[in-house]
């Protein structure tokens, strides 16, 4: 296995804008890092389950991807566009501090409809890991590694959101517009 190529792919994919990172940053900027932590923990738990499922079923999914991929992309892009709309619409609510959106369950459930992590998991397994390893404990270790790197990226984005909360509060419309545009980019990039 080419460790450099795998590491580069894993880090770039995990740390680029996506539903997890942008929603994590948005929640931390609105509710603070502490109140958004359950959301991030939910992301990690859901992410771990999805990575294990991608690992266990990657070979089968690769045969089915030509039939599943278009539907998954359409549903995923639709959901990401909905997130973009909600982000844009919440401009005036950015200073709310109740934390209702930053729950463990909302972060957890996001993982099961987040196409970016399915693509991340399937690509990592089929391109880098499965050609070199077949042992279930090793494959499970890689799944946990992928989930941990994803969790690390959402925490980095959350820290960024909480550190710059006052900036976000003062420029909520502009920043939410930028975040919405990034989400739209995420949705469009699924088809490129």
Question: Which of 2-6, 111-115, 147-151 is least confident?
Answer: 2-6
- Amino acid 96: pLDDT: 41
Distances (CA, A) of 72 to 1, 13, 64, 87, 159: 28, 18, 12, 22, 31
Q: Structure pTM?
A: 0.72
Distance (Å, whole) CA 97 – CA 151: 23
Burial of 186 (0-12, 13-18, 19+ CB in 10 A): buried
Give tens-digit pLDDT for 76-90.
Answer: 667 667 767 877 776
> If you average pLDDT over every residue of the chain, what do you get?
81
Burial of 156 (0-12, 13-18, 19+ CB in 10 A): middle
- Amino acid 4: pLDDT: 80
- Amino acid 150: pLDDT: 94
For 115, the token pair is: 């196409």
- Amino acid 39: pLDDT: 95
- The 10 Å CB-count burial string (b at 16+, else e) for 106-143 is bbbebbebbbbbbbbbbbbbbebbbeeeeeeeebeebb
* Helix axes 19-31 and 33-89, enclosed angle (nearest 10): 110
* Banded pLDDT at 190 (limits 50, 70, 90): low
- Amino acid 93: pLDDT: 44
For 126, the token pair is: 């089929």
Given a cut of 70, is residue 47 above it in pLDDT?
Answer: yes
Distance (Å, whole) CA 149 – CA 18: 14
% of the chain surpassing 90 pLDDT = 27
Give tens-digit pLDDT for 80-136.
Answer: 677 678 777 765 444 444 456 689 999 999 999 888 898 888 878 887 887 888 888
């Amino acid at each position: 296995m080419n460790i450099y190529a795998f590491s580069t792919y894993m880090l770039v994919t995990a740390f680029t804008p996506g539903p997890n990172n942008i929603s994590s940053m948005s929640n931390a900027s609105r509710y603070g890092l502490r109140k958004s932590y359950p959301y991030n923990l939910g992301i990690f738990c859901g992410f771990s389950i999805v990575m294990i499922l991608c690992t266990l079923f990657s070979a089968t999914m690769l045969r089915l991807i030509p039939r599943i991929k278009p539907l998954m992309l359409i549903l995923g892009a639709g959901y990401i566009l909905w997130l973009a709309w909600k982000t844009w619409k919440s401009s005036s609510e950015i200073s709310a501090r109740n934390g209702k959106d930053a729950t463990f369950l909302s972060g957890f459930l996001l993982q099961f409809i987040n196409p970016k992590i399915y693509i991340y998991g399937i690509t990592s397994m089929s391109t880098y890991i499965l050609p070199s390893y077949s042992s279930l404990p090793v494959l499970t270790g890689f799944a946990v590694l992928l989930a941990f790197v994803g969790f690390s990226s959402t925490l980095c984005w959350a820290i960024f959101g909480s550190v710059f909360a006052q900036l976000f509060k003062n420029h909520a419309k502009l920043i939410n517009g930028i975040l919405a545009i990034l989400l739209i980019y995420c949705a469009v990039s699924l088809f490129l």
